[in-house]
Amino acid sequence: MSATVKAHGMDGTLVEPDWPPLTLAEVRQVLAQFPALGEPLEILSVSPRPLSAAGVVRTENGTLFIKRHHRTVRDAEGLLEEHRFLVYLHDAGAQVPRVLSSASGQTAIEIGEWTYEVHETPASVDLYEEAISWTPFRTASHARAAGQALARLHLAAQGFDAPIRKPQPLVASFTIFAARDPSVELERYLAARPVLASNAAVRVDSKQALQLLAPFHAQLLPLLPALRPLWTHNDLHASNLFWSDRSDDAKATAIIDFGLADRTNAVHDLANAIERNIVEWLVLVADPAHPDDVPIHLDHLHALLDGYESVRPLSTEEAAALAPMTALCHAEFALSEAEYFLAALHSNEKASMAYDGWLVGHARWFRSSAGRELLEAIHRWAANHAQRPQEVGKP
């Protein structure tokens, strides 16, 4: 493996990583607690994802995936929230990698200022390994396969009844706009995160985002009782899927990276998949003065929805909730990213990109012509959906 390691930057370019890459000596120290996995021999690849350090490691007994978090981002307790969900999904037959336990039965390993996790590597193709979030699928067929994979995950997640996660950075929760009065819930959200509550710019931008998003919350509010709570992935980008092969018609074979998972609902998760894959937000980052130039991929949108409903048909209320939820779903994660940048990286510059560029910028975009075009397309789909028999979908 090359000694030069780059990470995905906030504007889509490759940059120096915020966290030092894994080393073989470090991996050896971690795997000493997993003697059944054998001696590590080589770090085969390093993940370009910017929020942690991770890589695929070859050992005497095969390959595995190791991820390292700073403990201000994920301590053992926070990581175990994800692992319990993964174990439940795996036991339910979901196509997710198995999280591995140490000789003492631990899956979250704390060493110094770091927390580590070790996973099996899926026996399929990491087709979008270098793809950056907010970049599109290669084909509509891939979008359809992703929708099917997400629906299968939602079926497997039924019955997992853990509470919402504790306050911590980098979680895509859904509480502010799940409330009748988002302004009250926003204050509660900020109060649980002192680094945000004490930042005047975060408070100003949060209130501005609430105003921009208020019409969408008004649309969603009467539909909220129909959205049953469900633990969800909340980051279904093409790069968080493994694939059957490298063809244009490849099938999604596994879902990885449950770092953003929380107790939300199926519509929130599906809206996140739309937000992550259908809108090319990096174009807005490069040219925020021209929001109507941001590409949207409506063919991929319809393929994603068709794939999802071929496995798990949405109710009429869920379908009607999807458009306003798409405008709202990113808000809390933008705040969570701001918390990460302020509390873990101590970077006001990067934090402002989250609370101004992503929280307010994305909210404002949904009021633009391009944003309205996307939401109107989802509304039209929902209206057509309401005219169809409810038993249309089948696995």
Q: What does the domain layout of the chain look like in residue ranges?
A: 7-120, 140-386
What does the pLDDT read at residue 393? 40
Which fold does the domain 140-386 belong to in CATH? Answer: Aminoglycoside 3'-phosphotransferase; Chain: A, domain 2 (3.90.1200)
Q: Residue 89 pLDDT more than 90?
A: yes
Arithmetic mean of pLDDT, 96-125: 97
Mean pLDDT of the chain: 94
Side chain identity at residue 31, one-letter code? L
> In the CATH scheme, what is the code of domain 7-120?
3.30.200.20
- Statement: the pTM of the whole predicted model exceeds 0.85: yes
**Exposure letters 116-146 (e unless 16+ CB within 10 A, then b):** bbbbbbbebbbbbeebbbbbbbbbbbbbbbb
Q: How confident is the model at residue 1 (pLDDT cuts 50, 70, 90)?
A: very low
Buried b or exposed e, range 332-348, using 16+ CB within 10 angstroms: bbbbbbbbbbbbbbeee
Whose tokens are 């359809």? That residue is: 144
pLDDT interval class at 390 (50, 70, 90): low
Question: Crossing angle of helices 140-157/266-277, nearest 10°?
Answer: 160
Residue 244 and residue 250 in contact, taking contact as beta carbons nearer than 8 Å = yes
pLDDT at 271 over 60: yes
Average pLDDT value for residue range 335-355:
96
Q: Dump pLDDT digits (tens) for 174-194.
A: 999 999 999 999 999 999 999
* Residue 388 confidence (pLDDT): 81
Residue 359 pLDDT > 60:
yes
Q: Report the pLDDT value the prediction gives residue 11, as an integer from 0 to 100.
A: 65
The predicted model gives 101-126 an average pLDDT of 97
